[in-house]
Amino acid sequence: MEGEPFSLQATPGELPKSISGNIPDPEQDRKTYNLFILYQASRALSAVLEVEELLELSLDMTTEVMNTAWGLFYLMSEEQDALELRKSKGIDAKTIPSSLHLAEGMVDWAKGKMEPFSFDELIPEMPFSRSFPDLRNLTQANPYFLIPIFHQLRFIGLIVLGRRLDGGVFTENDLELLSTLVSLSANAIMNAHLYELAILDGTTKLFVVRYFRQRMREEIKRASRYTQPLTLLMLDLDLFKLVNDTYGHPSGDKVLADVGAIVRKCTREYVDIPCRYGGEEFAVLLPETDTEGGYHVAERIRKMIDKTRFLKENIRITISAGLASYPTDADTDEELVERADLALYEAKRLGRNRVVAHDQSAIHII
Ligand code: GH3
Ligand code: MG
Ligand code: MG
């Protein structure tokens, strides 16, 4: 029955939510069943590119295939000093620790372990309890199994599972399947993570220029094929040097991160392409958008930055923007950048904190 939680004792035809197809009977042919689950899992994982979505899918699959009441997905923090709760399923996230701090020795301990293990096994493992004291806070939730996650021998996370819904215990086969399922997930998650690292700027979380340029070439081709307009915004923070000089470079970086968040908020996810074009310069490509539409987006960004107060000193920052559209202002990506840049220059010249559009004949202010 589609949509029902999947159990290892499922009768043929029962389907887990995240895995579809006719499931072989695990009682009759365990090998075929395992292969089926892993095949479907790898297909499902390869269809997803985003880390957040992959975490959710992995936890869904693990809890469904193992038929557990609930599950938690902890992932290693950027600082590598704690496991952070990234996804929970079937349990109120407020009742469980949002992070598990790693003390010395924990990673080595986990490396020696590498296999799923039951929570009960932990109690006598004193080195583990000592080096991972936060784990005791999980006891209330009554966890059943823990699965350390490794990627190329690096400890990257932990899945915690509750009791099985049918009251059964995990068999050797379950644990083998679980290990392989989790390592498939770990590969997909790390690949997506590395991809995100490669295409996103660390400070602003906007796309890097190299990725932006490639997308711009593709989007111009697409716009030409479907005779659709496309608009490019170039934005530059006003008198930003002053912010650095007054509050220091790290504070300047904090402002850039907040501006990045505003730019993301003001643009369409998965459609528009916002990028950190240079130090404190941004570019946003707006597919299927003409000059008027682009002007509104630029104004939205400009206004939101204008009314936001930054840093603990509550400082005001403004931004100037120039825009140019394909095909009215330019035929190629280089021309588009050049025209939008000219308009931006004009916005600066006219006194900053404004949006200027380039038009085929001349620069003018809307
Ligand atoms: P305006 O654009 O309004 O003409 O003045 P401006 O002071 O912003 O001038 P410009 O755009 O030329 O300034 C660039 C300044 O931005 C120089 C530098 O202090 C700052 N900046 C550039 N990149 C970074 C960065 O990555 N981090 C920080 N904190 N500051 C940066
Ligand atoms: Mg500037
Ligand atoms: Mg600049």
Same domain, 146 and 255: no
Q: Which ligand is located closest to the Cα atom of residue 347?
A: 1
Determine the Cα–Cα distance for residues 51 and 189; give it in Å rounded to an integer.
6
Question: Euclidean distance between the first and final Cα of the chain, in Å?
Answer: 59
Three-state secondary-structure class, residue 166: coil
CB 72 within 8 A of CB 63: no
Residue 108, in any domain of the structure: yes
Same domain, 229 and 183: no
Question: Which of 149, 164, 198 represents a domain boundary (last residue)?
Answer: 198
**CA 236 to ligand 1: nearest atom:** 2
Residue 219 CB less than 6 A away from ligand 1: no
Amino acid identity, position 83: L
Determine the Cα–Cα distance for residues 187 and 184; give it in Å rounded to an integer.
5
Phi, psi of 99 (to 5 degrees): -150, 150
Residue 244 CB less than 6 A away from ligand 1: yes
How much is the pLDDT for 185? 95
Residue 203, in any domain of the structure: no
Question: Which of 198, 225, 244 represents a domain boundary (last residue)?
Answer: 198
Number of domain units in the chain:
2
Q: Is the dihedral of CA 163, 20, 37, 196 positive or negative?
A: negative
Give the distance, in angstroms, between the CA of residue 142 and the centroid of all CA atoms in the same chain. 30
Query: Cα angle at 226 between 222 and 231, to 5 degrees?
Result: 60
Same domain, 312 and 271: yes
How much is the pLDDT for 9? 36
Burial of 187 by CB count in 10 Å (0-12 exposed, 13-18 middle, 19+ buried)?
middle
Mean pLDDT by 10 residues, the chain (366 residues): 36 47 74 87 88 94 92 91 92 88 67 71 58 69 87 89 90 89 94 92 96 96 95 98 97 97 95 97 97 96 98 97 95 95 95 89 48
* Full-model pTM: 0.73
* Active-site annotation holds for 172: no
For ligand 1, mutation pick of 203, 237, 241, 302 (most atoms within 8 Å of CB): 241
Residue 364 CB less than 6 A away from ligand 1: no
Helix count and strand count (H, E) for the chain: 11, 14
**CA 245 to ligand 1: nearest atom:** 19
Question: Which of 164, 198, 232 represents a domain boundary (last residue)?
Answer: 198
Residue 302, in any domain of the structure: yes
Residue 279 CB less than 6 A away from ligand 1: yes
Determine the Cα–Cα distance for residues 206 and 208; give it in Å rounded to an integer.
7
Residue whose Cα lies nearest atom 31 of ligand 1: it is 279
- Of 345, 350, 341, 231, the closest CA to residue 296 belongs to 231
Determine the Cα–Cα distance for residues 42 and 52; give it in Å rounded to an integer.
17
Same domain, 296 and 148: no
**CA 242 to ligand 1: nearest atom:** 7
Rounded to the nearest angstrom, the distance between the alpha carbon of 309 and the centre of ligand 3 is 20
Domain that holds residue 268: 209-365
Residue 70 CB less than 6 A away from ligand 1: no
How much is the pLDDT for 20? 54
